[in-house]
Amino acid sequence: MTTLLHISASPRGKASEGLAIAETFLDTYRASHPDHQVETFDLWDGTLPVFGPDAAEAEMTVFAGQELSSAAAEAWESVKRTFERFAAPDAYLFSVPMWNSGVPYVLKQFIDVVTQPGLAFGFDPQHGYTGLVTGKKAAVVYTGAVYGPGRPPSFGQDFQKPFFNSWLRMCGITDITEIEFRPNMVTADAEQQRKQAHQDAVQAAENF
């Protein structure tokens, strides 16, 4: 059975614009793909492991092809379980709000946990990284309340979308659909932009 995994980096629940757009996508996706399974990974649910000294030791030890210590081995098992949850589905929907021009720290934690040698990527000294999470596609809901294209630097900069899209491609996920909602809090056009974002979500889900 084809599986879509919704990975949410928003902690705001029903108050989240990004999650509302994601729900529009998912409702349309379920209607358009009744034989597909939809699962959710809320990055704020407490199941994401800490990527600390033992995990960092494990990563570098695996990268060097050496044997893991007991503490590093235990941390590596947590990493692999999280990666397997990430790699199992056929397609993804990500809810990615902008925090301080970038992504929420819990999403960066998730990326640091799952982006491991031999799992998410391979590495060649001459050719660099090769993504190993291939044959999949992703839709990403990007939201932000201050930054927006065409606004001056005093409204922030976008280290959110370039960083996240680059990570997807590093892992081997190159089929990326973007849905954006970036209203300027000081303007009155937010409702029209909101409607457009939800329409974009419907269209993206129908074609996904």
Per-residue pLDDT of the chain (208 residues; tens, 9 = 90+): 899 999 999 999 889 999 999 999 999 999 999 999 999 999 999 999 998 898 888 888 887 888 888 888 888 899 999 999 999 999 999 999 999 999 999 999 999 999 998 999 998 889 999 999 999 999 999 999 888 787 888 887 889 999 999 999 999 999 999 999 998 766 657 888 899 999 999 999 999 9
- Identify whether the C-beta of residue 162 lies closer than 8 Å to the C-beta of residue 195: no
Secondary structure (DSSP) of 152-170: -GGG----SHHHHHHHHHH
- Share above pLDDT 70 across residues of the chain, in percent, rounded to a whole number: 98
Name the domain count of the chain: 1
Domain ranges, residue 66? 3-206
Q: How far is CA 95 from CA 8, 62, 102, 146, in A?
A: 5, 31, 13, 17
- Identify whether the C-beta of residue 22 lies closer than 8 Å to the C-beta of residue 141: yes
- Identify whether the C-beta of residue 11 lies closer than 8 Å to the C-beta of residue 99: no
Q: Give 3-state DSSP helix, strand, coil % of the chain, rounded to 5.
A: 45, 20, 35
99-110 pLDDT tens trace: 999 999 999 999
Q: What is the CATH number for 37? A: 3.40.50.360
CA distance 113 to 55: 8
66-103 pLDDT tens trace: 888 888 888 889 999 999 999 999 999 999 999 999 99
Residue of 119, 105, 103, 100 whose CA lies nearest to 170? 119
Q: How far is CA 27 from CA 15, 32, 105, 128, in A?
A: 18, 9, 28, 39
pTM of the model: 0.92
Amino acid at 34: P
